[in-house]
Amino acid sequence: MTDPRIKILKKAVAEPVAPYGPLRISEIRIAHYRYFTTPCAIAVNGQNLLVYGENGSGKSSIYKALAYLTRLRFDSISKEQNIFYPDDPAQIEFGFSNDQTLIIDRDLAELPDNFPFLRGLSVFSPMLDYKKLLRIHYAPGLNGDQINIYSILRELFRDYRIPGGEKLSGVGDFTRYFDTLKNLVNGDLLQDINDLIAFFDRDFRINQFSFRIDTTEDGRPEPRVSLDIDYRSTPIEGYHLFLNEARLSALAISVYFASIHKLLGTLDQDCLKLLALDDLLISLDMGNRMKLMEVLKNRFSDFQIFFFTHDRALFDLFKNQLDWQKYEIFADEAQGIPCPLLKPYESHLKKASRYHARKEWDSAALQLRKEFENLLKSLLKPEEQRDKQERELDLSKLIAKAKKKVNEPAREILSRLDRDRQHILNPLCHSDQRPTFAEEIKSTIDDLERLISLLR
């Protein structure tokens, strides 16, 4: 059954903002930058990128390298030199699908003129991590228990083009500036934010962005912007204290995502459409994480998405949802100094194919069973994976529940895989003397590949 909130989400983006081209990043090379020691190449090939990494493994170094694309000037890369290679200059290289290459090092002062497709990235701020989310509900004003998001909005919309082509940050008269910002955020942007919030949670919405000028103790004026939020049509005081962590995260994500599209719509030339998300979903449960994936599919389908996480369960949940290049990154000290170990992700299904080619049937079956179990669990909520006594369901019961959630072609494949489980996967994962045929293993591999494709 289709979630009715999908209609809300599609309605919010029914009008495309501009006919941007399919420009993409094809490769990233990093050397002697932050956690990276020796040169490392990351093949992206114009696809989205999903990276799982342990804390302290270097994944945030890749995220911060991408942030250089949002700048017009480069004056700090030397300050982020890898401490173990002080004599080898830090360097970040981006290859693009139009065959251009941008090399950022200590000799590059500003963005060259032949990269106009990158200039828009400095306008619509496509970098988002949990620290940015926190600012929406940890930004106190004069009173420590109140939230002032004026500085956030000022930063977000500094390059917003107002009628006449002038940048908002260039408005010298403060009263005019303040009123322009107020009208901007309380117009169609507010509706867009609320449409996104409703997709996550229908219980709350932003009534308005409230603007006023307070006075500090020493008599200075302080601009103040707060969020007036209704919970089930009832105004609430101190939303940051009332809303739970999942709702606060949904609120912040909605504000930033709507702002990205609003700012993107002001650009007058094609731009690399990039969205980079680093450990964004710490406070969201699995249900809301899948809602975020639906937002990415529906609202950012024409963006190149870079998603970084230290949560293995989230990586497994997302890995089949989009067309990703997938990597794993680990902290390694094999050479005596800490450095990242980056390797392409290999699914259990790929491992099964490799074992099948080597005629190692039992190893192939073990990997197929793992792939099958992970796939079933990605279809079910955590509470659906347990019985009334909170015990984990066995594979046959997971299959039965999963059949109720998919369409007829997928159900047919699940039925075949259930038969395979009984006469191939189970026997080969345990001590068993029954004969096994290569064709049966290959048939199971093919069915799993088709099922993953259908579910994607």
Using one digit for the tens of pLDDT, what is the confidence trace for 345-371?
A: 988 898 899 998 998 888 888 888 888
- Identify whether residues 286 and 396 lie together within a single domain: no
Residue 7 has pLDDT above 60, yes or no: no
Kindly report the number of other CB atoms within 10 A of residue 81's CB atom: 17
Percent residues over pLDDT 90 in the chain: 57
Residue 268 has pLDDT above 90, yes or no: no
How many domains, the chain? Answer: 3
CA distance 449 to 443: 10
Q: Which residues contact 153 (CB under 8 A, 6 or more apart)?
A: 181, 185, 209, 225
Let me know: does 21 contact 270? Beta carbons within 8 Å.
yes
Domain boundary among 294, 318, 344: 344
What the block records as the tokens of 48 is 């989205």
- Identify whether residues 352 and 335 lie together within a single domain: no
Domain assignment of residue 399, yes or no: yes
Indicate the range of 225-239, 365-379, 382-396, 434-448 predicted with least confidence: 434-448
CA distance 206 to 192: 11
Domain assignment of residue 263, yes or no: no
Domain CATH code at residue 34: 3.40.50.300
- Identify whether residues 19 and 53 lie together within a single domain: yes
Tens digit of pLDDT for each residue in 36-67?
998 999 999 999 999 999 888 999 999 999 99
Q: 393 versus 10: which is more confidently predicted?
A: 393
Domain assignment of residue 261, yes or no: no
Residue 43's DSSP bridge partners are 27
What are the two backbone dihedrals, phi and then psi, of residue 131, each rounded to the nearest 5 degrees? Answer: -65, -40
Q: Which residues contact 306 (CB under 8 A, 6 or more apart)?
A: 48, 49, 51, 62, 63, 66, 274, 275, 276, 277
Let me know: does 306 contact 63? Beta carbons within 8 Å.
yes
pLDDT number for residue 363: 86
pLDDT number for residue 67: 96
CA distance 369 to 422: 11
- Identify whether residues 111 and 152 lie together within a single domain: no
Domain assignment of residue 126, yes or no: no
Q: What is the mean pLDDT of residues 130-134?
A: 89
What the block records as the tokens of 185 is 């955020």
For the chain, the farthest-separated pair of C-alpha atoms sits apart, in whole angstroms, at 87
- Identify whether residues 56 and 97 lie together within a single domain: yes
Domain assignment of residue 255, yes or no: no
Phi-psi region of 99 (alpha: psi -120 to 50; beta: other; left: phi over 0): left
Domain boundary among 314, 344, 374: 344
Residue 298, burial from CB neighbour count under 10 angstroms (0-12, 13-18, 19+): middle
Let me know: does 316 contact 285? Beta carbons within 8 Å.
no
pLDDT number for residue 420: 78
Q: Where does 298-450 show beta strands of DSSP type E?
A: 304-309, 324-332, 339-344
- Identify whether residues 329 and 358 lie together within a single domain: no
CA distance 30 to 93: 6
- Identify whether residues 336 and 355 lie together within a single domain: no
- Identify whether residues 207 and 171 lie together within a single domain: yes
Tokens 């030339």 correspond to 269
- Identify whether residues 210 and 138 lie together within a single domain: yes
- Identify whether residues 371 and 407 lie together within a single domain: yes
- Mean pLDDT score across all residues of the chain: 87
Tens digit of pLDDT for each residue in 112-127?
999 999 999 999 889 9
Let me know: does 259 contact 188? Beta carbons within 8 Å.
no
Q: Which residues contact 375 (CB under 8 A, 6 or more apart)?
A: 320, 448, 451, 452, 455
Domain boundary among 200, 218, 250: 250
- Identify whether residues 295 and 194 lie together within a single domain: no
Helix axes 286-299, 188-200, angle to 10 degrees: 140
Range of the domain at 423: 348-455
- Identify whether residues 428 and 400 lie together within a single domain: yes
Domain assignment of residue 266, yes or no: no
Confidence tier at 153 by pLDDT (50, 70, 90)? very high
Domain assignment of residue 414, yes or no: yes
Domain assignment of residue 85, yes or no: yes
Q: What is the mean pLDDT of residues 383-405?
A: 89
